[in-house]
Amino acid sequence: MNNVKEIKSEKLKEKYYEIAHPSGLKIMVYPKENYSSTFVIFGTKYGSIDTQFRLEGESEYTCVPEGIAHFLEHKLFESEELDAFERYAKTGASANAYTSFDRTCYLFSCSKNLEANLEILLDFVTHPYFTEATVEKEQGIIGQEIKMTRDEPAWELLFSLLRAMYKNHPVRIDIAGTVESISHITADLLYKCYNTFYNLSNMAFCVVGNVNPDDVVKVADKALKKQEPVKIERKFFEEPKEVNEEYTELKLPVASPLFALGFKEKVDTPERTNREITQSNIILDVVCGKTSSLYNEMLESGLINTSFDFEYFFGFGYAAAIFTGESDKARQVKEKITDRIKYLQQNGIEREDFERVRRKLYGRAIMAYNDVDEIANNMIASEFAGECVFDDIEILESITLEELNERLVKSIDTECCSLCVINPEGE
């Protein structure tokens, strides 16, 4: 094959193939011999935060209704004849799709009929079909979905926190938009977004499993036509350093009080590197991972229970350290976490803690290469970030305590935080 790059990991003794297809699409094939199933993702670098954009040569930004990326994902499964799910039902594939803040992905897994399933995926994603009548029908369906998510406490908790932290950035808006915002979506707007973001140069195609790269390319040659690449400029939303609100509270039908605590990171560039992401993941695990002294202290004192969790939350133009859980003493949890971060910023992370967490995350990263769907999702995310899926283990091997302590001081401002609490109704 022409335009094929073989990418190896000496540590893992594994490799994958990166294929620059003539159509303009980047294809990645990661063979996993003796695996019974294959996992496939066709993704575009387009998510809910892309509400303002322009193509190279355009002077003005196009502004679109919030929720249109998610709406478009739903609509692509339709056609004038059978929808994609009906087609997959005949081949035995398990198919799905998702829209996140910064990407939209269409996926399936199968243990047979791989080529037929690849054809279905490449076909329906590259052949949009929108009419005003079908758009109006979908507005009713998604409107009901939006109303239903208001009854999901974890979802409401996340977006209440994001609205508290962010004043301008569209990450504060629900991925599905609002009933009001989606009412302004038209077929013409869907085609505008589709023709901008579903250009093959803005997309990636990933196949992981017991697969031959030649077979994938053969299907792509048949299904795809060459497209001229586009250059998309996404709007970088200026955010104040301070959070929008320090505390918010709401009531929902929950059994126990829930909380979400977010420390807003000041970002000067749109993207976070894999190294910065890995640094922050280690830092948060040191602060209150399950093997940390703080986690066990809060657990034993009843401040939290085993639902407690944390993540480094990031994307184009935003980043935050987020902690969530159940507690009727959320302010005390905030105080404990804040005090621990301040202590580590002043005194530095202990080498023993650093090595313990680094080894744990290294082992977890190695294990991830046994899971075809995790590999595929990580490959898409790495590709859209301009990095390699093997970077994580290389970073975890080379990372130093000194850079970690520097990142800790730089990335977390304990004064820039928001606390959101959901209390049971009636209290």
Catalytic center residues: 73
Sign of CA dihedral 298, 301, 302, 306: positive
CA-CA distance, 13 to 125, in Å (whole number)?
A: 34
Q: What is the 3-state secondary structure (H, E, C) of the chain?
A: CCCEEEEEECCCCEEEEEEECCCCCEEEEEECCCCCCEEEEEEECCCCCCCEEEECCCCCCEECCCCHHHHHHHHHCCCCCCCHHHHHHHHCCEEEEEECCCCEEEEEEECCCHHHHHHHHHHHHCCCCCCHHHHHHHHHHHHHHHHHHCCCHHHHHHHHHHHHHCCCCHHHCCCCCCHHHHCCCCHHHHHHHHHHHCCHHHEEEEEEECCCHHHHHHHHHHHCCCCCCCCEEECCCCCCCCCCCCEEEEEECCCCCEEEEEEECCCCCCCCCHHHHHHHHHHHHHHHCCCCHHHHHHHHCCCCCCCCEEEEEEECCEEEEEEEEECCCHHHHHHHHHHHHHHHHHHCCCHHHHHHHHHHHHHHHHHHCCCHHHHHHHHHHHHHCCCCCCHHHHHHHHCCHHHHHHHHHHHCCCCCEEEEEEEECCC
Tokens found for residue 56: 């190279």
> What are the residues whose beta carbons fall under 8 Å from the beta carbon of 340, sequence distance 6 or more?
287, 288, 294
AA letter at 170: P
In 3D, which of 152, 143, 204 has the Cα closest to residue 178? 143
In 3D, which of 198, 160, 156 has the Cα closest to residue 72? 198
12-19's contacts with Cβ under 8 Å and 24+ in sequence apart are 12/366, 12/369, 12/390, 12/393, 14/369, 16/379, 16/389, 17/213, 19/213, 19/216, 19/217
